[in-house]
Copies of this chain bind each other. A is one copy, B any other.
C-alpha cells in the first residue's frame, strides 16, 4: 500500500483508468488485501494501489473511472497451457478411449479441417470465452500459431504464442528439417510486434520429438531467451514408450539431454515419481497443471501437492477445448482444489489460497512474466479483472479466496482490463465483435459436422 501526497508526480498527469471502491486482492507475497481501494492506471501500467482514504481522490483525474463498489479487483487469470483453435472441436467426440479419441476423431479432424482461417477464428472465439471468464494471459501451442498471435493482438489479449515442433510433416511445416529456420523466423516476426505478445517454443512431446529436435529447439530458446514448453509424462503409455525407447522415464530423459531449466515448462507431469519431482525442483523446471483435461481423458492425477512441497512452481492450464471442454479457469481452480483432496484423502491439501496463486502469480512465474503481470502492484502492467460479489452464490462473504475457488464462476467477472485497455465491461467485449466470430466458428463447425462420421447421442 502507498500513501500518495498532493504533490506526487502521479497527480500531474491524467490517468487513463481509475478504479475505485472495490476490494483489491493484490496476490503479492504479503497477501495484502486492500478494502475501499483505488487503482490508478496510465500507459498500460499500474501507477498506484492504495486505500481511497490515502489518496487525494479529488486531485486525481482519469479519462475513465470504474466504480468497483461491492466488487473484488484482482489480477487477471493466467492460462499456462491451451490449444485455442481446438474450440472448433468442442464436444465433437467425448467419453472415448484416449487412443480412439485421438486417432479416430481428433487427428483426422485436424488433418482435414485445420487451416489458417480455422486457427484464427477458433482463437478469436477462445479469446472471447477466456475474457468472459477472467483470463487475461494465455500460453498456446497449435498449428499456424502466427494466426493465434494475430488473434491475440486483434483482441487485445496478452499471449505467449508458441511455435510448435514435431517430428513429422504438418500442414504448416511440411519439412521438419526446416525447424531451425522456422523457429528463428517465428521469433523475428513476433518479438517486437506488440507488448502483448511474448513468443515461445513448444516441442510437442518426447514421444513425438527426437532428442535432437528437443535439444536443437532448446538451444535456440536459450540463445534467444524465450520460454520452452513440452507435454511431459501425460499418460502411463507415454512413460512406457519413453522407457522402452530410451531406457529411462520422461523427466529423466529430458534431464539427461539437458533441456530442463527455469525456462522450461513441463505440461501435465501426471506420471512422475519422487525422484523426477526432485529433478524438476533442482533444475527449476516449471509445471503446467491441467486437471480437467487429465480427468476427462482419464490420463491420471498429477502429484501436484508433492511438487509444490518440493518447491516447484506450478501454474494452471485448461488444455484444449476438445478435452475439457471449456476454457474457464474458475472451474479449473475448483477442480484442482478438490481432485487432490480426494485422491490423497486429505482435505487440507491444495487449499484455496494455493490454488488461487497457481491461477495468478504462480502462473506468471511459470511463464516467466511475473515481472510484468500476476499481481496488482505499482509498476506492473495493468491486467486486472473485476468480479461482482453481489450474487446469491457469493453470499455471505467470509473469505475472498474461498469464494473465488469454491463458489465463483467465470460468469461473475464483469470487467477485464489487459495492458491498460478495458477489453470487457459489464460482460460486453469491447475489442471485437463476438457475434461475428461466433458466426464464423459456426460456419467452420458446420463443415466439420458434415464431414464427421462418429457417434452421436
Residues on A lying within 8 angstroms of B by beta carbon are: 31, 87-88, 90-92, 94-98, 101, 125-126, 128-129, 132-133, 236, 292, 294-301, 321, 324-328, 331, 334-335, 337-339, 341-342, 344-348, 350-353, 390, 392-393, 395-399, 401-403, 406-407, 409-412, 434, 437-438, 441-442, 444-446, 448-449, 452, 456-457
**What are 9 A-B interface contacts by the 8 Å CB criterion?**
A94-B399, A94-B402, A95-B337, A95-B351, A296-B347, A298-B341, A325-B406, A326-B393, A399-B456
Q: Which of A334, A342, A392, A446 has most B Cβ within 10 Å?
A: A392
Measured in the bound complex, the distance between the Cα atoms of B330 and A393 in whole Å is 14
CB–CB B441/A90 < 8 A = no
Q: Are A392 and B298 in contact (CB under 8 A)?
A: no
Minimum CB distance partner of A457 in chain B: B353
Are B393 and A296 neighbours in the complex by a CB distance under 8 Å?
no
Q: Is the CB of A334 within 8 A of B331?
A: yes
Q: A101-B347, A396-B441, A396-B449 are in contact. List 16 more A-B contacts (CB 8 A).
A: A90-B403, A91-B396, A92-B399, A95-B351, A125-B395, A126-B392, A236-B345, A296-B337, A298-B341, A298-B342, A298-B344, A298-B347, A325-B406, A331-B409, A409-B410, A409-B411
In the complex formed, the residue of B with least CB distance to A299 is B342
Contact of A295 among B90, B299, B339, B457 (CB under 8 A): B339
What 8 A-B pairs have minimum CB-CB distances, sorted nearest first?
A396-B445, A411-B411, A91-B402, A295-B338, A95-B351, A325-B406, A298-B347, A295-B342
Classify the interface of chain A: helix, strand, loop or mixed: helix
Hey, which chain B residues are within 8 Å of A325, CB to CB?
Answer: 402-403, 406-407
Q: Do B392 and A125 touch (CB < 8 A)?
A: yes
List the B side residues contacting A338 at CB < 8 Å. Answer: 292, 295-296, 335
A238–chain B nearest beta-carbon distance, Å: 14
Contact residue among B296, B331, B449 (Cβ-Cβ distance under 8 Å from A341): B296
- Judge whether A347 and B393 touch: CB under 8 Å: no
Contact B294 A395 (CB under 8 A): no
- Contact between B347 and A95 (Cβ–Cβ < 8 Å)? yes
The complex places the Cα of A98 from the Cα of B342 at a distance, in Å, of 12
Alpha-carbon distance A335/B296, docked complex (angstroms):
9
Neighbour of A457 across the interface among B132, B401, B406, CB < 8 A:
B401
Q: A398 with B295: in contact, given A342-B339, A353-B457, A392-B434 (CB under 8 Å)?
A: no
CB-CB under 8 A from A126, the residues of chain B are 392
CA A133 – CA B391 in complex, angstroms? 12
In angstroms, Cα B98 to Cα A350, docked, is 15
Q: Is the CB of A345 within 8 A of B300?
A: yes
